Structure 1
Amino acid sequence: MDAHLRDLRYFVAIAEELNFTRAAERLFVSQPALSKQIRQLEEGLRARLFDRDRRTVTLTTAGAALLPAAREVIRCWDEAQRVVGDAVAAEAASLRVGLSTSVGRGLLQRAREGYAVRRPNGRLQIRQIDWDDATAGLADGRVDVALVWLPLPNQEVFATRVVATEPRCVVVREDHPLAGRSEVAFAELLDEPFLALPPAAGPLRDYWLAIDQREGRPVRVGATVSNADETFAAVEEGSGIVLIAAGNAAIYQRPGTVAIPVSGLSPSELALAWRADDHRGTVRDFVETLRDASSGSPADR
């Protein structure tokens, strides 16, 4: 059986934390998903890797034997990725840009044009990432920069620059009692079922459920959604309502749904994020390009 590199990363994280909850938080995955992958790894190896009870997690003899080998495999692969990435960047100045939702607002088009001026041989590779990774691929190195909604999990390890500040709207089905309103107060929504991001999204999940504005009132989760398509399908099916940024309300207009401005909520922030220790010129050029692209735009005021 050939183990996936992801499974080895999961194994090493648990071995180092000796705690499934902390390892899941470190990896930006849910604890059930982490446990499932470890079970599959153990089944493939035909060996138990951890002894686990209610209080402690310890490596078995097999787990202790696997740990140094797993670390070496991961190190070699990370080094291979770095070498290949550097070679590609040097040749074409390409940059991988992560997104979790469509950005619109003219930002990407202006960014493409501005980046082409700074890097005539450059290329932007846009990658769509589901919401179980609120960093849009930045945390695990799948992308170089990401357009994300704040707040991020472990935000202190990233550099961020806000490119759009917008009020929040609520999306409801067209036959919802509030559908004809021009504005709704958030207090009127407290008893409604909400669509929620996956738990792995951490503080971003709480933000779009407006936990801080509920004054202790529990949230009713109608369904968990991983991307925009799932979200609007769930609204259309009547599974719940969802908060989104005003700019995205214009992008994601769907038959059968209505977006209504919501009062009593803080504005949402769309930001460019990159790893704070990434000082490559391609990253710096894109950061400056997006700064120029977002300055003075309606969404930035």
Structure 2
Amino acid sequence: MNTRRLRAFVAVAEELHFTRAAARLYLAQQSLSKQIAELEADVGTPLLTRTSRRVELTPAGAVFLDAARDVLARLDQGVTQARSVGRGEHAVLRVGFIVGAALELTPLILGDFAERYPDARLELREFGLTDPTAGLGTAETDVAFLRLPCATDGLDVYPLFTEPSVVGVRSTHRLAARESLTPADLADEPIAVGRTSDAVWRDFWTLARADGPLVETSSHSEEMEVVAAGLACCITPAAAARFTPRPAVRFVPLTGYPGSTVAVAHRAGADGTLVRGFVETATATVARERETVAVIGNVAGTQTQSR
């Protein structure tokens, strides 16, 4: 079995016509028919049925077509990358993220990926709250750490872990001394939210508030300053207490409300070697680091007041 026969089969399977497929490959029709026959002998079963009027894939041929396309796509991509490295270039993977990325797991994932792909160069790009897709929606990044829920149309998404939600309030706020809060406790409170058109994102971080006071921000640090000033409270991941503490801000567990999920994602269909490798690395790292994931998912101890 060789790639010439695979390409011949893919061409016939896509055209369902030997004459058109032969013209597409710049081959004589007799030579194309011979290559298909040789491939079927290699595989050990008929891949096509052909009459004087039409050509069709057999059930085995339909299965083999997917495999053939995958093999050829990987081979072509490998050739492109090898030539690039041969010219002294390095394959670049643009990794997008919003604040926090994958939390304590971020350096572990990036380190594991670097070991697995030593010739690849990572470019990390941080995005504000205006773009919950971290550059995937605008094709500025190849793969990204997302904070779900957000709009994921056109994306392939792979959840990694979920952490609890908390409420950030000014330390002198009337709710700051509470051991926990519920969504009902925030009914009359202004809520800070990212300045984005992503309705899924906005609904989650504002308790799906149809009306009522909202304060729009462009970044998490801006959001924290708004809360510290007492202009609004915010719904935020529990990790904010560890990663972005602010003077005069307290984080109180939010009960009766779902947590948010960190995921790795890429544009649908854009699953080249490095993108696929990054997803596989991220999921494998998370599966290995169970203790760290358990700590992230534990709401206990999230209450804190910066000193």
TM-score, normalised with respect to structure 2:
0.64
Structure 2 CA distance, aligned partners of 1:104 and 1:287?
A: 13
Q: Which moved more, 1:279-288 or 1:100-109?
A: 100-109
Structure 1 CA distance, aligned partners of 2:196 and 2:284?
A: 34
Name the counterpart of 2:280: 288
Q: Deviations over 1:43-93 (max 9, x none)?
A: xxxxxxxxxxxxxxxxxxxxxxxxxxxxxxxxxxxxxxxx9xx95999323
Q: In the alignment, residue 192 of structure 1 is paired with which amino acid?
A: E
SS in 2 for 1:188: helix
Structure 2 CA distance, aligned partners of 1:252 and 1:293?
A: 24
Name the counterpart of 1:264: 256
SS in 2 for 1:101: coil
Q: Deviations over 1:155-187 (max 9, x none)?
A: 231011111201110000010111122211221
Contact 1:131 1:201 in 2 (8 A): no
Contact 2:173 2:230 in 1 (8 A): no
Aligned residues: 212
Residues 86-125 of structure 1: pairs in structure 2 closer than 5 A: 91-103=89-101, 105-125=103-123
Name the counterpart of 1:3: none
- Structure 1 gap ranges (5+): 1-82
Q: Which moved more, 1:92-101 or 1:189-198?
A: 92-101
Name the counterpart of 1:209: 206
Contact 1:186 1:265 in 2 (8 A): yes
Contact 1:163 1:294 in 2 (8 A): yes
Contact 2:102 2:145 in 1 (8 A): no
- Structure 2 gap ranges (5+): 1-79, 299-307
- The correspondence for 2:187, drawn from 169, 186, 190, is 190
Contact 1:93 1:119 in 2 (8 A): no
Q: Does residue 179 of structure 2 align to residue 173 of structure 1? A: no
Structure 2 CA distance, aligned partners of 1:87 and 1:300?
A: 42
Task: Compute the displacement of 1:210 (Å).
Answer: 1.3
Task: Compute the displacement of 1:300 (Å).
Answer: 6.2
- The correspondence for 1:157, drawn from 132, 149, 154, is 154
Contact 1:168 1:245 in 2 (8 A): yes
Q: In the alignment, residue 256 of structure 1 is paired with which amino acid?
A: A
Structure 2 CA distance, aligned partners of 1:279 and 1:227?
A: 29
Largest Rg, 1 or 2: 2
Name the counterpart of 1:220: 213
Structure 1 CA distance, aligned partners of 2:241 and 2:269?
A: 34
**Gap change, CA 1:284 and 1:269, over 3 Å in 2:** same
**Gap change, CA 1:149 and 1:90, over 3 Å in 2:** farther
Could you say what the CA RMSD is over the residues aligned between the two structures, in angstroms? 2.4
Name the counterpart of 1:244: 236
- Identical aligned pairs, as a percentage? 30
SS in 1 for 2:201: helix
- The correspondence for 2:145, drawn from 144, 147, 158, is 147
Structure 2 CA distance, aligned partners of 1:227 and 1:203?
A: 17
Task: Compute the displacement of 1:124 (Å).
Answer: 1.7
